[in-house]
Structure 1
Amino acid sequence: MPTCSKPRRVLLLGIGNILWADEGFGVRAVEEFHHRYVVPDEVTILDGGTQGLHLVNYLQDSDHLIVFDAIDYGLEPGQLKLVRDEEVPRFTGIRKMSLHHTGFQEVISACDLLGHCPKHLVLIGCQPLDLDDWGGPLTPAVRNQISPAVELARFILVEWGVRVTPRITPLGESEWLLANGIDHQRYEMRART
């Protein structure tokens, strides 16, 4: 009798706090991906914000994971860095990579302890410049890396065999990941005035 395999589940996750300037990079990158591309139902696109350990269930339900995040690598502001699979720190004993209250390592570590962590992990991090401008927009150095980060994620999804199609019809506002004036364009216009 043939064995039925479970369908692959992919999570594309942006984490960060849009209220702290460059800390919002991850959320803005996943938001832009959602505006730019259509993916099959096996892919969940999620604004994880600052949910911390509340994201554990989403990770446990995923086989493949791509995370966008602002990360202090000690690089030049705006520089992207890609980290894959076993290179992604999983335990809290090492220096926190994420800038959030609950580091992303804690989320991955919790998944490991619960017995299911995504098989494939990719972290697309961007070196922030400004994390102190409460309510401020992304700095130009970080904002300019959103498009390259989105394209990097698209490339990885295609590498995993996921069909990624350019969006022809723009999303209606009810389909946006962020609405009510906190979407990237409206938020940054307000932050600059």
Structure 2
Amino acid sequence: MGNESIEEIPRHRKCRYYVPGGFTELGKNYCAPNAKTLGEQWEQRQEINVEDCDKCGHYKCKYIEYPLTIQELEITDPEAWGIVFEPVKVRLCEDNKTYFGILLGEFPWKTRASFNEEEGKLKISTITNPCILLPKQKKVVFGCESWWSRIKPGEDISDITDEDIDNTWYVKLLRGLAKKEVFENGAAERNNQKALVADGKTNKSTQ
């Protein structure tokens, strides 16, 4: 959602049944109104025309919309955990420079809310994230806005390079998924072309 307000988000993207296109399908939009899991969403998705969303009877907003009738309110107090105070090196996304930091632990990062429509219960809680103090910069950053790693005893502080980032398991996973999707889409396109060629030959032979 980024910095957009709910009002600024297009209707189709607010629908809980909406499925965005993959790495090689930018600009395409899908819908899976009968899916109950993320896996089913991907398997059952059907490409849609966003102009038709206004007429769709399946639309249901995935965000909390007001006014709202609340039968019960459950609030979980913000809490830090996993306090460690360990030395780390941090590369900020904003300037790509590496700094010395101190990992404090998992600290509250954002507030989240969920609403159970059947029970009428609204839950308020916080999301935690690794919190890192940068002494020289006199500021605190979170792990989700940087690349960081622990400094082992006796290890010199070296810059976190692009190669280090490329070798992280989740970057490898995302790139692997992107390559797989490109390969599968390419194979499907080649099969379609073969079918069209074969169909053309069949039509000529029957004339």
TM range (shorter): under 0.3
TM-score (norm 2): 0.20
TM-score (norm 1): 0.21
Higher relative contact order (CA 8 A, sep 6+): 1
Which protein is bigger by CA-based radius of gyration? 2
